[in-house]
Chain A
Amino acid sequence: MPSDPAPARAVGEHVEARVPEVLDAASPRARPGRRREGGGGEKGGGGAAPSGTVVRTEGLRRSYGDARAVRHALDGVTLTIEAGELVAVLGPSGSGKSTLLGVVGGLDRGYEGRVELFDRNLAKMRDRELSRLRCRQIGFVFQAFHLLGHLSVLDNVLAPALFDPEWPDLRRRAMELLDRLGLADRAEDAPGQLSGGQRQRVAIARALLQRPALLLCDEPTGNLDTEMAARTIALFSELHAEEGLTVLAVTHEERLAEVATRVIRLRDGRVEHDGRGKQGGRGKQGGQGKQGGQVEVGS
């Protein structure tokens, strides 16, 4: 991976200096009339004090293959994630981490069991409702960044606004995010001109554009070198701490677990461990070490 050419500045200091301004601009109160649809209401979003249950799964199962050779990527996962938690989901490859993220994010609807997002049953939501929920309440950060090479950095960050029914003008918000993430001077550059770390920060800015209540991260440090991975982890920690953002991060990165309020370990599609992270925080203890995820966690 290319090293990050961005100024080697302590992310923590950076965030300390900038967060309050961004939060002011990002607050729902700063945008009167802005609706929060999809069942989440105002909770958890945009720096408001988060509360309530954000994610709840019961007996979640996701299978692939046919009847002769079925494989359960998720096999009866039951868990609850409260607003404001920073949850690290760890596990070996093939343990079902990314599948869990896809299901919880409403990207994968071929599951069995029950999944609730912001107290709404995903199975009963129509595509339009679910898409609106993703647009306004959920931010995604992917290992592969998934930036659009034909667009500038700024347009990449603004991509979610295109699909907002209100098509809000969020250029100022986008620029503030880029500024906060140290990329304001690269706004008109193409993603191909950026390092891996910078690209991931662009992806994070895109995920934060709509002031989501839930940030879903799939191996966010997987394509980053050690230094950038550390910075990114610190950034998530700061976002969680300062904005009260609920973060569900799937990772191999043990260092992420160190800043998490809660750590869930998956193996063979089941919850192997679910417990408080080193940061403790608002994470609640659940049935640690219980196999099969049969015990509801965090409630």
Chain B
Amino acid sequence: MRIGALLTLVRRDLGRTRGALATSGFGIAAGTATMIFFLALGLGVRTVVLGRVFPIDQIELEPPKAQDPGLLGMLLGGGEPPGVDAEQVQRLAALPGVTGVYPKLKLAFPSSARGGKELLGREVGTSELIGDGIAPSLLEGDGDLKDTSVFADPMARPGPACVNDAGCAVPQYCEMTGGAGAGAGAETGEAGAGAGTTTGRCSEPVPVLVSHYLVEIFDKSLAPAHNLPPVGATMVQRAQGVTFDMRLGDSLLGKARSGTPRSVRVKLVGVSRRAIDLGLTFPLEVVRRWNAEFAGARSATRYSSVIVQVGSGIDTSAVITAGASMGLSPRDTRARDVSVLINGIMALLSLVAGVILVVSASNIAYTFRVLVTERRAEIALYRAVGATALDVRSWMMALSLTVGVLGGAAGVVAARVAAFFADWAAAHRLPDFPFKPSTFFDFPWWLALGGVAFGAVFAAVGAWGPAGRAARVEPASALAGG
């Protein structure tokens, strides 16, 4: 039978049996809508949690924390910090599925910062500062920073020689590389100011990144508690160029064991998911230089951790295993834990939707059984005028597939409408919280396609048996009324 003839039969049936078929289609639509709604919700939450809170496409490996002497140990000079050496980095880079390896260096000496007036309206005083350094190449392709070239070691292109900040054009400051000294703050008479014996080089402010996490925590927790205005990631992005002073080798807790404390000028250049959660992230070479100056050469060559970028989550476990063989362990397993949790919830909710679809398929089966019984004479007539058994089966299956596709499509639409209202309710009814997304749902194209396909498949499964019965109708008996 030609497709056109088949469609003619289906079109006629949709018109004359619309009541029963609509009931069956409603079941399919309800099941599909439930499934798509929950899957989209799961995907949306997953996108937020794993994309913004705990990125899962990267694993940060670090030496065991037990070996880390910590800040106090560093202050007291007791023990060297553990680290990842260059050879380990090379081995990790050679692992299958690894698309990139990015070492990180923590600031291995005390430091502090003060400022905030430009951003917050008033100085927030001196604060202990934690920071790390990452390779600028890690930011490429993230989309967080439109121009990654701004995140580079300014001393790669040093300015003219100087002895203090006054010798440099604003906004540059005098970076006293490896010596005692002046630097930013020389004008304000802080320690080292006016030494004048060591020359430095004029430098652009050191670029720094902050994390989304830090912005969220600040906006949702710290800002309300200290009566500060929320900044928001967008505002921080707009506030690029805000500078403040940072004190190296000296903090509220003590001084570095080597080097002379000095000040530098840093400039906020953006918000990135690659930035350290709580602290500032600098270009790797900057931290390497500062660590060498204030914590010794070893702190400049042994990385505090290494970010391993994987192409697929499937390769994650292999990377973790390889890291363990080098004495490295994942820094944060929350991503995996959350991922497992989300997957579990999605599976559970999909199971509920699956049950609904199975019930729908049963409904389809019942409807088609009745339909075949009612139409025995019609089926027999069609057989008499030339329909093959396959034609009859195709007719029933095409009808069920049509019901399934229409039901599935209606379910997808219903899921999107429900998601719209859910997002609206969340936006207006739920209190603000860190990482609250503008939408909790993600509707990729394949999900909509899958919803329609699921509807069709379940309808077809339900109609398969009755279609077989229809194909086996004995024409002679049915035409005789038997």
Contact = CB atoms under 8 A, between A and B. Distances in A.
A131 B382 CA distance: 10
Interface in B368-394: 377-378, 380-391
Contact of B4 (A131, A132, A135, A167): A167
Contacts of A146: 377, 380-381, 384, 479
Contacts of A50: none
A162 interface: yes
Contacts of A144: 479, 481
A142 B16 CA distance: 24
A123 interface: no
A107 B480 CA distance: 11
A140 interface: yes
A164 to B, nearest CB: 6
A140 B385 contact: yes
Contacts of A103: 476
Interface in B404-437: none
A139 B251 CA distance: 103
A108 B475 CA distance: 7
Interface in A214-265: none
A164 B382 CA distance: 11
A128 B390 contact: yes
B389 to A, nearest CB: 5
B386 A167 contact: no
A107 B476 contact: yes
Nearest to A218: B479
B122 interface: no
A270 interface: no
Given A108-B476, A150-B16, A151-B12, A164 B386 contact: yes
Given A132-B386, A134-B386, A163 B476 contact: no
A163 B386 contact: yes
A161 B15 CA distance: 21
Contact of A163 (B377, B388, B474): B388
A56 interface: no
A127 B1 contact: no
B5 A167 contact: yes
B384 A134 contact: yes
A128 B391 CA distance: 9
A148 B381 contact: yes
B377 to A, nearest CB: 6
B149 interface: no
A94 B389 CA distance: 29
Contacts of B381: 146, 148, 159
Contacts of A164: 386
Interface string B338-349: 000000000000
A140 B386 CA distance: 11
A174 to B, nearest CB: 13
A128 B480 CA distance: 23
B12 A163 contact: no
A259 to B, nearest CB: 24
B321 interface: no
A98 interface: yes
B355 interface: no
Nearest to A167: B2
B5 A160 contact: no
B4 A127 contact: no
A160 B386 contact: yes
A283 interface: no
Contacts of A45: none
Contacts of B387: 131, 162-163
A162 B1 contact: yes
A135 B386 contact: yes
A183 B28 CA distance: 44
A131 B383 contact: yes
A165 B16 contact: no
A150 B380 CA distance: 16
Interface string A102-131: 110101100000000000000000011001
B12 A105 contact: no
9 contacts: A98-B476, A99-B476, A108-B474, A132-B386, A132-B388, A150-B16, A162-B387, A165-B2, A167-B5
Given A132-B386, A132-B388, 7 more contacts: A98-B480, A128-B390, A136-B386, A146-B384, A160-B386, A161-B5, A163-B386
What are the 3 A-B residue pairs with the smallest beta carbon separation, nearest first?
A135-B386, A102-B476, A108-B476
Interface of A: 98-99, 102-103, 105, 107-108, 127-128, 131-132, 134-136, 140, 142, 144, 146, 148, 150-151, 159-167, 206, 210
